[in-house]
């Protein structure tokens, strides 16, 4: 993951996890009938797991690049590709309740294709964004068991320093961390929507505090080989800048490989919030005669840097 000046902060507490209470809570969760319980009731079940739980959270400096995809007709305005209105959210998501808006995105350009389960013929609006302020996020889903379950090519249990730190506070803290990862990362089918009640309850415990701007977790649709990040809408409104949109048609998929055609692109939004489409794919525009660019592969795309090390954006 391109961390862009990532550092970590320790979430301190004077409380201590109590093993008896933790084990009883886990047993209660395992035997709970999620169909009958409310999310608030499930949150109460989780309380012993968070009473004394410690985490080291990543803090991303401004300039973090993220990607968001949406299956749709060619969008006219920016509001069509940002987070949805609460009134349009009629189903539970992995982190959101019904009627609750969140901004789901990813750290790599290719991740949204898998998250959307794109098929040949699908039309996708793929947007790219950049943060203009530091973001403090919590994390979930990074454990050895999840790596094995997903067949990930990454060692999720010790992938980042903040994961190693969180799992090393104590054996009980590590046990809680890994248990939450297992519950949050469960594969949920369309007829098991009630199972999202538990993931939403866990998400609430992890990042609904004012301290956090979002939640980071490995993408299950891509076998844990990329990261998803979900931001609160308030952070998006204040600190997320639009960079570009590509309108894409999926041509072919085989395993972990997609082939697609870029139908149009834009990096400009007019005063009404509408896209000014270019009629072509994004491309590097040399500002000066003889300008040299260095191309670097980052998170599934080629990125250009000038001779001073400044990133050059596609237009």
Summarised one tens digit per residue, pLDDT across range 270-303 is: 999 999 999 999 886 655 555 666 767 666 666 6
* Tens-place pLDDT, residues 165-177: 999 999 999 999 9
Do residues 309 and 293 make contact, with C-beta atoms less than 8 angstroms apart? no
User: Does residue 244 form part of some domain?
Assistant: yes
How many angstroms separate the CA atoms of 215 and 140, rounded? Answer: 7
User: Does residue 261 form part of some domain?
Assistant: no
Which three-class secondary structure state does DSSP give residue 33? coil
Give the domain range for residue 304: 283-315
Q: Which of 237, 254, 271 is the C-terminal boundary of a domain? A: 254
User: Are 249 and 106 part of one and the same domain?
Assistant: yes
User: Are 232 and 301 part of one and the same domain?
Assistant: no
Q: Which of 254, 273, 296 is the C-terminal boundary of a domain? A: 254
Query: Which residue bears the tokens 């794919």?
Result: 281
Please enumerate, as own/partner, the contacts of 236-241 that have beta carbons within 8 Å and a separation of 24 or more.
Answer: 236/82, 236/83, 236/103, 238/133, 239/62, 239/131, 239/132, 239/133, 239/135, 239/213, 240/103, 240/129, 240/130, 240/131, 240/132, 241/129, 241/130, 241/131, 241/132
* Residue 198: C-alpha distances to residues 37, 91, 154 (Å): 10, 14, 26
Output the pLDDT for position 311. 67
User: Does residue 155 form part of some domain?
Assistant: yes
User: Are 23 and 123 part of one and the same domain?
Assistant: yes
Q: Which of 254, 275, 305 is the C-terminal boundary of a domain? A: 254
User: Are 184 and 65 part of one and the same domain?
Assistant: yes
User: Are 249 and 306 part of one and the same domain?
Assistant: no
User: Does residue 275 form part of some domain?
Assistant: no
The distance in angstroms from the start CA to the end CA of the chain is: 24
Q: Among 151, 139, 115, which residue's Cα sits nearest to residue 206? A: 139
Judge whether residue 78 has pLDDT over 80.
Answer: yes
User: Does residue 222 form part of some domain?
Assistant: yes
User: Does residue 77 form part of some domain?
Assistant: yes
pLDDT band at 255; cut points 50, 70, 90: confident
User: Are 219 and 300 part of one and the same domain?
Assistant: no
How many angstroms separate the CA atoms of 267 and 247, rounded? Answer: 12
User: Does residue 272 form part of some domain?
Assistant: no
User: Are 107 and 177 part of one and the same domain?
Assistant: yes
User: Are 74 and 201 part of one and the same domain?
Assistant: yes
User: Does residue 274 form part of some domain?
Assistant: no
This prediction has a pTM of: 0.89
Judge whether residue 38 has pLDDT over 70.
Answer: yes
List of residues 6+ apart from 255 with CB closer than 8 A: none
Which three-class secondary structure state does DSSP give residue 46? helix
User: Are 218 and 296 part of one and the same domain?
Assistant: no
User: Are 88 and 130 part of one and the same domain?
Assistant: yes
The number of domains in the chain is 2
User: Are 45 and 136 part of one and the same domain?
Assistant: yes
User: Are 295 and 203 part of one and the same domain?
Assistant: no
- Mean predicted confidence (pLDDT) in 228-246: 97
How many angstroms separate the CA atoms of 10 and 55, rounded? Answer: 6
Do residues 238 and 85 make contact, with C-beta atoms less than 8 angstroms apart? no
pLDDT > 90: percent of the chain: 80
């Amino acid at each position: 993951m391109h961390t862009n000046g990532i550092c970590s902060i320790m979430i301190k507490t004077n409380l201590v996890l109590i093993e008896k209470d933790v084990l009883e809570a886990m047993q209660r969760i395992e035997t709970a009938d999620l169909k009958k319980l409310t999310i608030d009731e499930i949150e109460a079940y989780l309380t012993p797991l968070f009473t004394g739980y410690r985490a080291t959270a990543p803090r991303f400096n401004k300039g973090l690049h993220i990607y968001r995809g949406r299956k749709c007709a060619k969008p006219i305005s920016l509001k069509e590709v940002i987070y949805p209105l609460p009134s349009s959210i009629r189903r539970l998501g992995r982190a959101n309740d019904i009627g609750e808006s969140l901004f789901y995105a990813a750290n790599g350009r290719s991740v949204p294709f898998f998250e959307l389960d794109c098929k040949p013929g699908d039309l996708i609006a793929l947007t790219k964004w950049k943060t203009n302020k530091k973001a403090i996020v919590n994390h979930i889903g990074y454990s050895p068991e999840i790596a094995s379950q997903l067949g990930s090519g990454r060692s999720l249990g010790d992938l980042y320093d903040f994961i190693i730190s969180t799992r090393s506070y104590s054996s009980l803290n590590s046990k809680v961390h890994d248990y939450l990862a297992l519950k949050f990362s469960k594969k949920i089918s369309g007829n098991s929507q009630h199972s999202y009640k538990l993931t939403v309850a866990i998400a609430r415990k992890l990042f609904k505090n004012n301290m956090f701007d979002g939640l980071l977790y490995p993408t299950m649709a891509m076998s844990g080989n990329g990261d998803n990040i979900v931001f609160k809408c308030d952070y998006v409104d204040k600190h997320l800048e639009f960079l570009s949109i590509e309108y894409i048609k999926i041509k072919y998929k085989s395993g972990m490989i997609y082939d697609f055609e870029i139908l149009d692109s834009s990096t400009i939004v007019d005063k009404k919030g509408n896209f000014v489409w270019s009629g072509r794919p994004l491309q590097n525009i040399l500002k000066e005669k003889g300008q040299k660019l260095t191309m670097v592969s980052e998170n599934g795309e080629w990125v250009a840097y000038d001779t001073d090390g400044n990133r050059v954006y596609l237009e």
